[in-house]
Amino acid sequence: MTKWDPDRYEEFFGERIQPAHDLMARIEISGSGLIVDLGCGTGRLTAELAIRWPDASVIGIDRSPEMIAVAPRTGVTYELADIESWSPATPVRLIYANSSLHWIPDHPALFPRLVETLAPDGVLAVQMPLSWDQPSHRTLRDVGTEYDIEIASPPTLAPNDYNEILTERAGRTEVWVTTYYHVLRGENPVFRWVSATGVKRFLDRLPERHHAAYLEECARRITAAYPPNSRGETVFPFNRLFILARSQS
């Protein structure tokens, strides 16, 4: 299995972090309690959670030792664990899951389970990409089929489905979708973006001897799909799904 590369992931950190900040700005909790950054990655957002809620105990959860190894330690603790099997020892004031739950299967079971771990009036805050049907990710799939690799679509549901599965378990649920128009620079930036995240699922299925050829063909097709403008900028539209669910008091 290919390893996560923290440096490559953070190349477009400013663009990747904007939806995370937009989600964080909508969270209304106060006081102490347990805050969990579920799928914390390199821990930058985990540290921000600790700064915003200094009276809370903040834990970052991730299954990648490479990511956790570079995470900041000030005011935060980390646990190496899979989201599927993670269970808190005490009720949680806030579960913050930025761009992580689309990797986890069976959302009709996952989301109610997470809400059930919340303390009274606790919050589940989620952001997930809706990128599967974008040209960038279609290219990864199209080239993959040439190597007899078929990747199932992410388990992400239609936006209103989350209202349906949470309405009886959460006191209030908000769901919305935002399209970000990222202005990227440099050579083939959209390919560099997906090569840090989405391409991993394909490389994990592909013999290593084919990695270079697969990546080269993906890069060629993606640069054709996202040509730079006259200023050398590449506009990358990207849809994001947001969910806020508050447990019943």
Residue 68, domain CATH: 3.40.50.150
**For residue 7, what are the contacts with CB-CB under 8 A and spacing of at least 6?**
none
Task: Please check whether residue 1 lies inside any domain of the structure.
Answer: no
**β-strands 33-38, 92-98 pairing:** parallel
Spatial distance between the Cα atoms of 104 and 54, rounded to a whole number of angstroms:
30
Stronger pLDDT, 2 or 50, i.e. the higher one: 50
CA–CA gap between residue 192 and residue 7 (Å, rounded): 12
Tokens found for residue 233: 């900028």
- CA angle 98–47–245, rounded 5-degree value: 35
Degrees, nearest 5: CA angle 92-18-65: 55
Which pLDDT score is estimated for 9? 63
Q: Is residue 92 part of a domain?
A: yes
Q: How far is it, in rounded angstroms, from Cα 112 to Cα 162?
A: 10
> Above 70 in pLDDT, residue 7?
no
**41 is a domain residue:** yes
Q: Give 5's pLDDT tier (boundaries 50, 70, 90).
A: low
- Strand-pair partners of 242: 127, 176
- The average pLDDT across 142-168 equals 92
Cα 34 from Cα 236, distance rounded (Å): 36
Give one word for 41, left, alpha or beta, with left for phi > 0 and alpha for psi -120 to 50. left
Q: Does pLDDT of 8 surpass 80?
A: no
pLDDT, tens digit, 9 for 90 and up, residues 81-119: 999 999 999 999 999 999 999 989 999 999 999 999 999
Tally of structural domains, the chain: 1
pLDDT band at residue 207, thresholds of 50, 70 and 90? very high
Q: Give the rounded percent of residues in the chain with a pLDDT score beyond 70.
A: 96
pLDDT at 174 over 80: yes
In this structure, is residue 193 part of a structural domain?
A: yes
Per-chain mean pLDDT for the chain: 92
Domain enclosing residue 185, as ranges: 6-247
In a domain, 202, yes or no: yes
Model confidence pLDDT, tens digit, residues 28-50: 998 889 999 999 988 989 999 99
